[in-house]
Structure 1
Amino acid sequence: MVVRDVRTLQILQLYTCLDTVQSIEWSSDSMFILCSMYKRGIVQVWSLEQPEWTCKIDEGSAGLISARWSPDGRHILTTAEFHLRITVWSLVTKSVSYIKYPKEAKQAMHFTKDGKYLALAERRDCKDFISVFACNTWQLVKHFDTNTRDLAGLEWSPDSRVLCVWDSILEYNLLLYSVDGRCLATFKAYDYALGIKSLAWSPSSQFLAIGSFDQKVRVLNHVTWKTVVEHPHPSSLDSSSAVIYKEIEQKPQLLGHDADAPWPPTASKLMFTIQSKYEVVDGTVQIPTTKPDPDKANPRVGISLLSFSPDNRYMVSKNDNMPNALWIWDVQKLSQAVLLLQVGNIKSAQWDPHQPRLAMCTSSNKLYLWSPTGCVSVEVPAEASFQVNSLQWHPDGNAILLMSKDQMCVCFLADDS
């Protein structure tokens, strides 16, 4: 496990783990690092201030399928195999607490943003329940049942006042609860079809966006919990309704070859690069679509990516059967603002943590950035072929971590101010 300085990429610490590390996670104050080794049922914790300090958590015969920090950065929650229990380990007092009956779901637990409460989905006697725990004592403060057939996930609003709960994809069912367990509202858009695929709270907690398998985004308001706008994702779009940016690839250029040098050049110096730029489309554009296979589970259709910008001004969405398109909506005007059409399939897209600036990648050697001022395509300056498969913003928004299959690099963004 290697810890590097963000600016210089120099190695600060090097830790040797007992087995193959399958996941890592920083504590909230960046003082500790958690390394999970699920095959051996072990979690190792390392300290940056005291490299000689070590901690090992062994679940033993119970097995281990997940491990994560609590918001205070001093407790670790581990989940045993078959979801038999969740164990809370304290790094301060070395005490251990157990939580029974956790439900196996995509997002079965979620902490409030202020770190005071934990909501946990449970399954008892073939029925779904939710338990709310106080994170300072890990005592149960509220326990109530939910009107769900097969709870798929739960998430607190950013202001920690409302808990959103949704059912499995087989039934469109969304419920909103207060901290004390009162059901504030329910929402169901349609019946007898695949339901909710993604969900996102706005930073102000005023809006709740729901992405569905019917290729639509529905935005609810926090007063009545009714739909304020419904955003479709049509296969064609006119430039009169939104600004359309289309990526255009230019002819490949030969790099590493002097015009006066003999031809052909040696193979070791031969390297082609395909440059690209954005053009603003005027008129109607057809969006490439893929037909999902009805014989396969989890069809590639519906809204899989849904996220609000940090200033609450824009929202981005991606429809899975339109893998080359990214849709950006104006939250204030409740209308579409931008359509981005890429040459390759969009693999990842993330907002800058501090401003409405969107970064995305398409498994090419380029990083794409959008802001209200326009779009830009930046080539990753790597000697070998560097295909950006995923990216991660630095918390201050001044750098982006780009990751390929077996390489990484840090892209620093100059501050114009």
Structure 2
Amino acid sequence: MLTCLDALFTPRLHQCSIFNNDNSPSMEMSEIITGAHAVASPCGSYVASLSAAKLRISSTWTPERYTHINIRPVKDVTALKWSQDSNRLAILSPQHVEVVCLDDAHHRVRLDNGSGGLGRFASVDFVGADHLLVIWEFGKAKLWSLSEGKGVELADVKTVTGGQAWQIRPGHTTATSQVLAILTRQGSDDLLNIYFPHLHKQLSSTKLSTVDAQSISWSPDGRWLTVLDTPTAPSSVHIFTPDGHLFRTYPSSTDSSTMSLGIKSAIWSSDSRVLALTRHDSRILLLNTRTFAPLAIIEHSTTIDQRSSPPDQQSPIWQESVTASGQRSYIPVSHPVSPPLSKPKSTADPADFGIAEARFNCTGSHLATRDERMLNTVWIWDMSSLVAHAVLIQHSNVRRLRWHPTRPDMLLLDCGERIPYIFSIASAQPPTPFEANMPFNLTFTWAETPATSNLAFLAISKTTLRIMYPEGQPSPNDEEGTTAPQANPPNTVFDEGNSDDSLFDVLSGRKPLPPKTEPSYTERIDWEVETEEENSLVRVDDTFREKRRKSVQKAPATSMILDPLDDSEIF
């Protein structure tokens, strides 16, 4: 049921100063919003969170306007997942998956795990707009069609990997053109499977020469596919054509003996022109994606010294300092400089050595990297000149880097101190810190707003969130492609049974919200369903209520061979 309830509190935007002096930068932010598993929609216009068995969908720009969606009572919700078109939202729990369609308030899909003979639901993801990939904790996986209510088993999917075991081919958004590449394992062999979800048909299955394949990734243009093997394998990276034919392995058999460990990760540039292979020896190999020949090798030296270069060609180095009163500032550091080394770890895990993180910006023009030996230092490399653009030495270790999805000059740094930093590579200024004013362990993530829009990012804890606007909150007329919602009129609700408006119409404030004079259609149906369930063993769900009632006396015909342990159902 969709309902715009009265706010328990009235979120307001207020100015928050970072420092105590008059020239300090300031930003706007929402009040703290109660809600777990907060996640922004791919379109950047909405933020979803879960609170008190209700799904809250807020506008990114005016979070005081929101819509509550009643969901079936579930325990231990583990994640919320948006579809790529921002039209559907999946609520994952160990025994249930519920899918809410945001532009059709009456359409619900619910997947029941039955007796749980295959274990708990471990993950759920949208595959395109009409399919749902569900993986159980014991390795079982099914691809469910949301329109047909049918599931197709994907046998032997690799569920324990170091990265993503499946991915939709980029650039193919229509249902009839979607291609799913997925890793499976039969016995001791890894297989690469190319699958067409709309046809429920597998194109090919290629046996891999890998020891234990860890992840799969398409190039952003969809022309190449990489499979990453365990770092102890002789050849760690395998490059395939879209139809599953092997094109190249790296390192090859002739040069694999020169490396003690293989590749740690493979990262495509956003323009698909470069493939970056991070290694355990703190170097990054850049490959040209036309021939996959080496372009350059990036090295992270413990001493940065560019005195041999002209002063105007030396990379700026900014080092953060923090006073006893908590004031933060940056000073330019002259060459040479040795960043402080991270505390040594007493582990032999290969993942704790080499490159910690490498990320391209949205145009592929710059690459931001971190090294495990110097976790408080961020290198930013210019891909056109293949030299360092800037070096940032933080007071604390950097936990993660996030480039803005649409603005290539904006980099977000999370140092685990409840203080996000924003660095613009287009300016000559150091990073700007912003205080979130939340007494929790926070993570920060961008909202994917248009490139012409003001910046917005989320500060997320386990049970709360706050939306932050470093450049201020724009007015509704300033936003392109989205209408910023206005504040809810007092004492009004949205009744899904008496309005033709979709959720997006409600959030956008295009029409006044009608007063609620009687229980909504969904409320009445829910009461009827609860009464029926008390007197019958037949399970009925919101999605296909009428269809289910007409067919409960007749068992559905199927040609599939059912797993005796699999009694999951989709409604």
TM-score for the superposition, normalised by structure 2: 0.65
Of 87, 90, 100, the residue aligned with 1:34 is: 90
* Aligned mates of 1:79, 1:386 — CA distance in 2: 31
Asked if the contact 1:361/1:390 (under 8 Å) is kept, the reply is yes
Note if 1:180 corresponds to 2:243. Answer: yes
* Aligned mates of 2:269, 2:157 — CA distance in 1: 28
- Determine the structure 1 residue equivalent to 2:401: 349
* Aligned mates of 1:403, 1:224 — CA distance in 2: 42
Of 271, 275, 279, the residue aligned with 1:204 is: 271
Q: Which has the higher contact order (CA 8 A, sep 6+)?
A: 2
Asked if the contact 1:400/1:411 (under 8 Å) is kept, the reply is yes
- Determine the structure 2 residue equivalent to 1:376: 431
Note if 1:124 corresponds to 2:186. Answer: yes
Of 129, 135, 150, the residue aligned with 1:79 is: 135
- The Cα RMSD (Å) is 2.3
Runs of at least 5 residues in structure 1 that lack an aligned partner in the other structure: 253-273
Note if 1:43 corresponds to 2:82. Answer: no
- Determine the structure 1 residue equivalent to 2:315: 242
* Aligned mates of 2:411, 2:347 — CA distance in 1: 35
Compared with structure 1, are the counterparts of its residues 341 and 404 closer, same or farther at alpha carbon in structure 2 (3 Å cutoff)? farther
Compared with structure 1, are the counterparts of its residues 237 and 379 closer, same or farther at alpha carbon in structure 2 (3 Å cutoff)? same
Compared with structure 1, are the counterparts of its residues 43 and 181 closer, same or farther at alpha carbon in structure 2 (3 Å cutoff)? same
* Aligned mates of 2:217, 2:88 — CA distance in 1: 26
Offset of 1:224 from its aligned partner? 2.0
Of 366, 381, 398, the residue aligned with 2:419 is: 366
Residue by residue over 1:109-132, the C-alpha shift from the partner in whole angstroms, topping out at 9 and shown as x without a partner, is: 111112421111111231111110
Q: How does 1:274-289 map to 2 (within 5 A)?
A: 274-289=326-341
Residue by residue over 1:239-275, the C-alpha shift from the partner in whole angstroms, topping out at 9 and shown as x without a partner, is: 55422111122341xxxxxxxxxxxxxxxxxxxxx12
Asked if the contact 1:360/1:391 (under 8 Å) is kept, the reply is no
When you count helix as a share of all residues, which structure comes out higher? Answer: 2
Offset of 1:361 from its aligned partner? 1.5
Secondary structure at the aligned position of 2:138 is classed as helix
- Determine the structure 2 residue equivalent to 1:91: 146
Runs of at least 5 residues in structure 2 that lack an aligned partner in the other structure: 1-49, 51-55, 173-177, 308-313, 479-571
* Aligned mates of 1:399, 1:213 — CA distance in 2: 35
More displaced stretch, 371-380 vs 91-100: 371-380
* Aligned mates of 2:79, 2:433 — CA distance in 1: 30
- Determine the structure 2 residue equivalent to 1:340: 392
Compared with structure 1, are the counterparts of its residues 322 and 364 closer, same or farther at alpha carbon in structure 2 (3 Å cutoff)? same
Percentage of identical aligned residues: 23
2:321 maps to amino acid: I
More displaced stretch, 102-111 vs 215-224: 102-111
Offset of 1:195 from its aligned partner? 2.6
* Aligned mates of 2:449, 2:302 — CA distance in 1: 36
Asked if the contact 2:277/2:284 (under 8 Å) is kept, the reply is yes
- Determine the structure 2 residue equivalent to 1:264: none
* Aligned mates of 1:167, 1:214 — CA distance in 2: 17
Q: How many residue pairs end up in the alignment?
A: 391
Secondary structure at the aligned position of 1:211 is classed as strand
Compared with structure 1, are the counterparts of its residues 190 and 340 closer, same or farther at alpha carbon in structure 2 (3 Å cutoff)? farther
Compared with structure 1, are the counterparts of its residues 386 and 280 closer, same or farther at alpha carbon in structure 2 (3 Å cutoff)? farther
Asked if the contact 2:419/2:436 (under 8 Å) is kept, the reply is no
Offset of 1:215 from its aligned partner? 1.0
Compared with structure 1, are the counterparts of its residues 276 and 406 closer, same or farther at alpha carbon in structure 2 (3 Å cutoff)? farther
Residue by residue over 1:121-154, the C-alpha shift from the partner in whole angstroms, topping out at 9 and shown as x without a partner, is: 1112311111101233231112211221111111
Compared with structure 1, are the counterparts of its residues 379 and 190 closer, same or farther at alpha carbon in structure 2 (3 Å cutoff)? same
Offset of 1:367 from its aligned partner? 1.9
Q: How does 1:197-346 map to 2 (within 5 A)?
A: 197-238=264-305, 240=307, 241-252=314-325, 274-290=326-342, 292-346=344-398
Compared with structure 1, are the counterparts of its residues 301 and 291 closer, same or farther at alpha carbon in structure 2 (3 Å cutoff)? farther
2:377 maps to amino acid: A
* Aligned mates of 2:444, 2:348 — CA distance in 1: 25
Compared with structure 1, are the counterparts of its residues 404 and 316 closer, same or farther at alpha carbon in structure 2 (3 Å cutoff)? same
* Aligned mates of 2:443, 2:360 — CA distance in 1: 22
- Determine the structure 1 residue equivalent to 2:524: none
Secondary structure at the aligned position of 2:266 is classed as strand
* Aligned mates of 1:68, 1:229 — CA distance in 2: 36
Secondary structure at the aligned position of 1:168 is classed as coil
Of 389, 394, 403, the residue aligned with 2:460 is: 403
* Aligned mates of 1:99, 1:381 — CA distance in 2: 44
- Determine the structure 2 residue equivalent to 1:258: none
Compared with structure 1, are the counterparts of its residues 381 and 58 closer, same or farther at alpha carbon in structure 2 (3 Å cutoff)? closer
Asked if the contact 1:390/1:404 (under 8 Å) is kept, the reply is no
Rg (Cα) greater in structure: 2
